[in-house]
Homo-oligomer: A and B are copies of this chain.
Amino acid sequence: MTAKGRGGAAPRLPRRLAGGRPKGEQLREILEGLASSLPPGSALPSERELADRYGVARMTVRGEIDRLTGEGLTYRQHGRGTFVAAPRVAQAVALTSFTEDMRSRGMEPSSQVLDQELVEASSILAARLEIGPSAPTMRLDRVRTADGIAMAFERAYLPAARFAGIESTDFSRASLFELLAERWGVVLRDADQRVVATAIEGEQAALLEVAEGEPGLRFQTLTRDAHGAPVYYAISLYRGDRYEIDLRQVRGDGRARA
Protein backbone atom coordinates (compact mmCIF):
# COMPACT_ATOMS: atom_id res chain seq x y z
CA MET A 1 0.00 0.00 0.00
CA THR A 2 1.14 3.47 -0.71
CA ALA A 3 0.50 4.76 2.77
CA LYS A 4 2.89 2.27 4.24
CA GLY A 5 5.21 3.46 6.93
CA ARG A 6 2.94 6.21 8.15
CA GLY A 7 1.26 4.18 10.82
CA GLY A 8 4.39 2.18 11.37
CA ALA A 9 6.34 5.22 12.46
CA ALA A 10 3.76 6.04 15.09
CA PRO A 11 4.79 5.15 18.62
CA ARG A 12 2.13 2.75 19.86
CA LEU A 13 -1.08 4.68 19.66
CA PRO A 14 -4.23 3.84 21.55
CA ARG A 15 -6.59 1.96 19.36
CA ARG A 16 -9.86 3.13 20.73
CA LEU A 17 -11.28 6.22 22.27
CA ALA A 18 -12.70 6.05 25.76
CA GLY A 19 -16.24 7.11 26.48
CA GLY A 20 -17.18 10.07 28.62
CA ARG A 21 -14.84 12.65 27.15
CA PRO A 22 -15.32 14.30 23.77
CA LYS A 23 -13.82 12.29 20.97
CA GLY A 24 -12.18 15.30 19.44
CA GLU A 25 -10.41 16.09 22.66
CA GLN A 26 -8.97 12.61 22.94
CA LEU A 27 -8.05 12.64 19.28
CA ARG A 28 -6.31 15.92 19.77
CA GLU A 29 -4.14 14.56 22.55
CA ILE A 30 -3.22 11.58 20.42
CA LEU A 31 -2.30 13.79 17.51
CA GLU A 32 -0.32 16.18 19.69
CA GLY A 33 1.63 13.26 21.05
CA LEU A 34 2.25 12.03 17.55
CA ALA A 35 3.36 15.43 16.31
CA SER A 36 5.72 15.99 19.20
CA SER A 37 7.27 12.53 19.00
CA LEU A 38 7.90 12.49 15.27
CA PRO A 39 10.71 14.42 13.62
CA PRO A 40 9.76 17.52 11.61
CA GLY A 41 8.64 16.70 8.10
CA SER A 42 7.17 13.33 9.03
CA ALA A 43 3.79 12.52 7.58
CA LEU A 44 0.80 12.01 9.82
CA PRO A 45 -1.70 9.30 8.93
CA SER A 46 -4.22 10.59 6.42
CA GLU A 47 -7.46 12.08 7.64
CA ARG A 48 -9.47 9.21 6.27
CA GLU A 49 -7.20 6.65 7.87
CA LEU A 50 -7.45 8.35 11.26
CA ALA A 51 -11.21 8.63 10.99
CA ASP A 52 -11.41 4.96 10.13
CA ARG A 53 -9.03 3.82 12.83
CA TYR A 54 -10.77 5.66 15.65
CA GLY A 55 -14.28 5.27 14.38
CA VAL A 56 -15.08 8.95 14.03
CA ALA A 57 -16.24 11.10 11.15
CA ARG A 58 -13.59 12.65 8.97
CA MET A 59 -14.86 16.12 9.88
CA THR A 60 -14.02 15.39 13.49
CA VAL A 61 -10.48 14.49 12.55
CA ARG A 62 -10.21 17.54 10.34
CA GLY A 63 -11.35 19.82 13.11
CA GLU A 64 -8.55 18.68 15.38
CA ILE A 65 -5.92 18.80 12.67
CA ASP A 66 -7.18 22.32 11.93
CA ARG A 67 -6.37 23.25 15.49
CA LEU A 68 -2.91 21.72 15.38
CA THR A 69 -2.19 23.43 12.10
CA GLY A 70 -3.45 26.73 13.47
CA GLU A 71 -1.07 26.36 16.37
CA GLY A 72 1.78 25.68 14.02
CA LEU A 73 2.45 22.11 15.13
CA THR A 74 1.63 20.67 11.74
CA TYR A 75 1.19 21.83 8.18
CA ARG A 76 -0.78 20.51 5.26
CA GLN A 77 0.01 20.03 1.62
CA HIS A 78 -2.93 19.62 -0.69
CA GLY A 79 -2.74 16.26 -2.36
CA ARG A 80 0.28 15.11 -0.36
CA GLY A 81 -0.62 14.90 3.30
CA THR A 82 -0.23 16.47 6.71
CA PHE A 83 3.23 16.80 8.18
CA VAL A 84 4.91 17.65 11.45
CA ALA A 85 6.16 21.24 11.45
CA ALA A 86 9.53 22.37 12.71
CA PRO A 87 9.16 23.89 16.17
CA ARG A 88 8.68 27.61 16.18
CA VAL A 89 10.58 29.85 18.47
CA ALA A 90 8.61 31.28 21.33
CA GLN A 91 7.22 34.75 21.38
CA ALA A 92 10.28 36.30 22.87
CA VAL A 93 9.67 39.97 22.31
CA ALA A 94 7.79 40.04 25.58
CA LEU A 95 9.38 41.99 28.39
CA THR A 96 10.86 39.51 30.81
CA SER A 97 13.41 39.63 33.54
CA PHE A 98 16.63 37.68 33.39
CA THR A 99 15.08 35.39 35.97
CA GLU A 100 12.00 34.67 33.86
CA ASP A 101 14.05 34.46 30.70
CA MET A 102 16.39 31.81 32.03
CA ARG A 103 13.61 29.79 33.62
CA SER A 104 11.74 29.75 30.35
CA ARG A 105 14.88 28.31 28.78
CA GLY A 106 14.92 25.58 31.39
CA MET A 107 17.78 26.91 33.49
CA GLU A 108 18.01 28.07 37.09
CA PRO A 109 19.06 31.71 37.34
CA SER A 110 21.16 33.27 40.05
CA SER A 111 23.16 36.43 40.60
CA GLN A 112 26.37 37.58 42.19
CA VAL A 113 26.47 41.18 43.30
CA LEU A 114 29.82 42.76 42.45
CA ASP A 115 29.10 46.28 43.50
CA GLN A 116 26.19 48.27 44.84
CA GLU A 117 26.43 51.95 45.70
CA LEU A 118 24.84 55.35 45.42
CA VAL A 119 26.26 57.59 42.73
CA GLU A 120 25.32 60.88 41.18
CA ALA A 121 23.67 60.54 37.81
CA SER A 122 25.68 61.76 34.87
CA SER A 123 23.86 64.19 32.63
CA ILE A 124 23.24 61.50 30.03
CA LEU A 125 21.94 59.04 32.57
CA ALA A 126 19.76 61.69 34.24
CA ALA A 127 18.20 62.49 30.90
CA ARG A 128 17.47 58.84 30.22
CA LEU A 129 15.93 58.27 33.62
CA GLU A 130 14.11 61.61 33.43
CA ILE A 131 15.43 62.78 36.76
CA GLY A 132 17.27 65.92 37.78
CA PRO A 133 20.97 66.22 36.95
CA SER A 134 23.22 64.81 39.67
CA ALA A 135 20.23 63.16 41.33
CA PRO A 136 21.20 60.14 43.42
CA THR A 137 21.00 56.80 41.64
CA MET A 138 21.85 53.33 42.75
CA ARG A 139 24.35 51.55 40.58
CA LEU A 140 24.16 47.78 40.76
CA ASP A 141 26.77 45.57 39.13
CA ARG A 142 25.93 41.90 38.91
CA VAL A 143 27.08 38.77 37.20
CA ARG A 144 24.06 36.79 36.12
CA THR A 145 24.41 33.05 36.07
CA ALA A 146 22.25 30.20 34.81
CA ASP A 147 22.76 26.74 36.24
CA GLY A 148 25.87 28.13 37.87
CA ILE A 149 27.41 29.24 34.58
CA ALA A 150 28.23 32.89 34.00
CA MET A 151 25.85 34.19 31.39
CA ALA A 152 25.99 37.96 31.49
CA PHE A 153 27.38 41.00 33.21
CA GLU A 154 24.85 43.69 34.01
CA ARG A 155 25.12 47.24 35.29
CA ALA A 156 21.79 48.76 36.28
CA TYR A 157 20.93 52.28 37.44
CA LEU A 158 17.81 53.10 39.42
CA PRO A 159 16.62 56.48 40.72
CA ALA A 160 17.22 56.28 44.46
CA ALA A 161 14.74 59.01 45.37
CA ARG A 162 11.88 56.98 44.04
CA PHE A 163 12.83 53.74 45.76
CA ALA A 164 13.51 54.48 49.39
CA GLY A 165 15.94 52.09 51.02
CA ILE A 166 16.92 50.43 47.76
CA GLU A 167 20.62 50.96 48.35
CA SER A 168 20.52 48.64 51.35
CA THR A 169 18.47 45.93 49.68
CA ASP A 170 20.02 42.55 49.11
CA PHE A 171 19.91 41.79 45.40
CA SER A 172 21.89 38.58 45.50
CA ARG A 173 18.78 36.51 45.99
CA ALA A 174 15.74 38.33 44.77
CA SER A 175 14.88 39.27 41.24
CA LEU A 176 14.93 43.00 40.60
CA PHE A 177 11.58 42.68 38.87
CA GLU A 178 10.02 40.94 41.84
CA LEU A 179 11.45 43.34 44.41
CA LEU A 180 10.20 46.37 42.53
CA ALA A 181 6.76 44.84 42.32
CA GLU A 182 6.58 43.71 45.95
CA ARG A 183 8.22 46.54 47.84
CA TRP A 184 7.37 49.53 45.68
CA GLY A 185 4.36 48.31 43.75
CA VAL A 186 5.98 49.06 40.43
CA VAL A 187 4.37 47.43 37.43
CA LEU A 188 6.83 47.30 34.56
CA ARG A 189 5.17 47.75 31.22
CA ASP A 190 7.61 48.19 28.40
CA ALA A 191 11.25 48.66 27.54
CA ASP A 192 13.33 50.07 24.75
CA GLN A 193 16.35 48.00 23.94
CA ARG A 194 19.34 48.52 21.75
CA VAL A 195 21.40 45.47 20.93
CA VAL A 196 24.83 45.43 19.34
CA ALA A 197 27.41 42.75 18.79
CA THR A 198 30.66 43.51 20.53
CA ALA A 199 33.90 41.91 21.57
CA ILE A 200 34.21 41.02 25.24
CA GLU A 201 37.36 42.58 26.64
CA GLY A 202 39.32 43.10 29.82
CA GLU A 203 37.69 42.75 33.20
CA GLN A 204 34.38 41.61 31.73
CA ALA A 205 36.07 38.80 29.83
CA ALA A 206 37.44 37.58 33.13
CA LEU A 207 34.07 37.86 34.85
CA LEU A 208 32.34 35.94 32.09
CA GLU A 209 35.18 33.45 31.86
CA VAL A 210 35.82 33.89 28.16
CA ALA A 211 38.92 34.70 26.18
CA GLU A 212 39.62 38.30 25.25
CA GLY A 213 37.87 39.34 22.06
CA GLU A 214 35.16 36.69 22.10
CA PRO A 215 31.86 37.93 20.63
CA GLY A 216 29.03 38.98 22.89
CA LEU A 217 25.72 40.84 22.84
CA ARG A 218 25.53 44.23 24.53
CA PHE A 219 22.05 45.36 25.56
CA GLN A 220 21.12 48.88 26.56
CA THR A 221 17.73 48.76 28.17
CA LEU A 222 15.45 51.47 29.46
CA THR A 223 12.48 50.00 31.28
CA ARG A 224 9.33 51.95 32.04
CA ASP A 225 6.40 51.44 34.37
CA ALA A 226 2.70 51.51 33.60
CA HIS A 227 2.72 55.34 33.60
CA GLY A 228 5.54 55.51 31.12
CA ALA A 229 8.03 56.73 33.71
CA PRO A 230 11.56 55.26 33.46
CA VAL A 231 12.30 52.76 36.21
CA TYR A 232 15.80 51.70 35.43
CA TYR A 233 18.48 51.86 32.80
CA ALA A 234 20.77 48.88 32.34
CA ILE A 235 23.72 47.86 30.24
CA SER A 236 24.13 44.11 29.91
CA LEU A 237 26.80 42.05 28.24
CA TYR A 238 25.85 38.51 27.32
CA ARG A 239 28.19 35.78 26.24
CA GLY A 240 27.73 35.19 22.53
CA ASP A 241 28.19 31.47 22.79
CA ARG A 242 25.56 30.99 25.47
CA TYR A 243 22.80 33.40 24.64
CA GLU A 244 20.54 33.96 21.70
CA ILE A 245 17.63 36.26 20.97
CA ASP A 246 14.42 34.78 19.65
CA LEU A 247 12.23 37.24 17.85
CA ARG A 248 8.85 36.94 16.30
CA GLN A 249 8.21 39.76 13.93
CA VAL A 250 4.84 40.69 12.54
CA ARG A 251 4.12 42.77 9.51
CA GLY A 252 1.85 45.77 9.50
CA ASP A 253 -1.59 45.55 11.01
CA GLY A 254 -0.64 42.64 13.20
CA ARG A 255 -4.00 42.04 14.66
CA ALA A 256 -4.66 40.13 17.81
CA ARG A 257 -6.22 40.82 21.11
CA ALA A 258 -5.38 43.05 24.02
CB distance from A80 to the nearest CB of B (A): 7
Whether A195 lies near B245 (C-beta < 8 A) is yes
A251 at the A/B interface (Cβ < 8 Å)?
yes
| Complex Cα gap A21–B216 (Å) | 53
A70 at the A/B interface (Cβ < 8 Å)?
yes
Known contacts being A85-B257, A94-B254, A256-B71, is A193 close to B40, with CB within 8 Å?
A: no
- Chain A interface extent, by class: 35 or more
Whether A127 lies near B195 (C-beta < 8 A) is no
| Complex Cα gap A126–B246 (Å) | 21
Measured CB to CB, the residues of A under 8 A from B are 39-41, 59, 63, 66-67, 70-73, 75, 77, 80, 83, 85-95, 123, 126-128, 130, 132-133, 187-199, 213-217, 228-229, 238, 240, 243-252, 254-258
Give the 9 A-B residue pairs with the shortest CB-CB distance, closest first: A197-B240, A88-B256, A40-B127, A41-B127, A215-B215, A95-B249, A91-B254, A195-B245, A193-B247
